[in-house]
Structure 1
Amino acid sequence: MKVASATMDDLKGWLELASEVEYLFGPMVNDPKFIQALEKNINQDSAYCVRENDGLPGSKLLGGILFSASNAPKYKIGWLSVSSKARNKGIATALVGHVLRLITVPSEVVVITFGDDIPDGQPARKLYQKFGFIPLDELIPNGPEGGSRQKFKLDCLKEPTFVKFGF
């Protein structure tokens, strides 16, 4: 499985991914702001994806991540999703591992993910914790669907240990 930089040819695949998780994230597919943010990340080479069978741009997407390095050494994972048919196959792990290998140290990486009260958000919480992210007590407004959110942070003072384990 190969993590690749997304291109504009992948835009349709990103919107298909988004349609699967709108019940968790709120409306995205028809939201011009989401589409603009996606296009901006693609143009800035900060959108990464895994394509079915490691295909060419425009192939079906199995997963995608948006990653901001604009405030380095403070980084942000802005969005992560894996297609329902491709879950539990290591795709999210590959995507998060890929972007964490892009950071310079020392640094910090933050992500806002689902609160502990969202059952479908538990896999995301566990994924970030596997990489060493720590949940913070900082209050975050509820998501557009009404569910709670929580900020997680990873402090990287040296090369992250996960690199040694092949994540």
Structure 2
Amino acid sequence: MITIRPARDGDLDGFLTLAAQVEHWFGPMVEEPGFHRAVEAHIRTGAALIAEATEPVAPSAEAPGPVGGLLFGADPPTYHVHWLVTAAHCRGAGVGRRLMAEAMLRYVSGPGTVEVVTFGPDHPGAVESGARAFYEKLGFAPGEPTDPGPEGGSRQIYRLDVPDPVRPV
């Protein structure tokens, strides 16, 4: 079973475990003090969610624990998914969708726009991670290119127009 809850003090290690699985796409995070500060700030302000497995998700899955994390920001009418990661063994199992649904309910009052920066179409992680297809399935539309990521890969903004009232994704 997977539960989504607000992150709390003590969850930094869970976020770092998840970050370690995607550093090859996003660049260094686990050893970066700036990433630690960003996660801690989001936790402190109540803008971080964590998905936890209370039992193994698949027969070959690791022990229960963090299987997804999300950092969110709001400057209404614009909202930002700052970071969203699902554990490798849980991708495609609905964890990311549940994190986004909870974020939309908690943080978005609408009308407005939710933005996320994800991989550009030529980035190796664009297909392998499934991020672009994930956001498109949630109704996000590709926007303009933006600055490359810290590893040098291309990035693109995706947007979701949100009516009032907000409906779960």
Query: TM-score scaled by structure 2?
Result: 0.86
Q: Runs of 4+ in structure 1 displaced over 4 angstroms?
A: none
Query: Which structure: greater helix fraction?
Result: 1
Partner residue of 2:150 out of 126, 141, 144 = 144
Unaligned regions of 5+ residues in structure 2, if any? 56-63
**How far did 1:156 drift?**
1.1
Aligned CA RMSD, in angstroms, stands at 1.6
Q: Percent identical across equivalent pairs?
A: 36
Q: 2:86 — aligned with what? A: 82
- Deviation, structure 1 residue 52: 1.7
> 1:160 Cα deviation (Å)?
4.7
Q: Which of 156, 159, 162 is the aligned partner of 2:162?
A: 156
What is residue 126 of structure 1 aligned with on the other side? Answer: 133
TM-score (norm 1): 0.87
Q: Which structure 1 segments of 5+ residues have no match?
A: none
Query: Counterpart of 1:106?
Result: 111
Q: Which residue number corresponds to residue 59 of structure 2?
A: none
1:19 Cα deviation after fit? 0.8
Matched, 1:47 2:48: yes
- The alpha-carbon deviation at position 98 of structure 1 amounts to 1.2
Matched, 1:37 2:38: yes
Instruction: Kindly state the Cα deviation for residue 9 of structure 1 after the two structures are TM-superposed.
Output: 1.5
Q: Greater CA deviation, 128-137 or 76-85? A: 128-137
Match of 1:10 in 2: 11
Alpha-carbon displacement from aligned partner over 1:87-108 (angstroms, at most 9, x marks no partner): 1111011111111223112111
Supply the AA of the counterpart residue of 2:88: S
In structure 2, what residue type is equivalent to 1:84? Answer: A
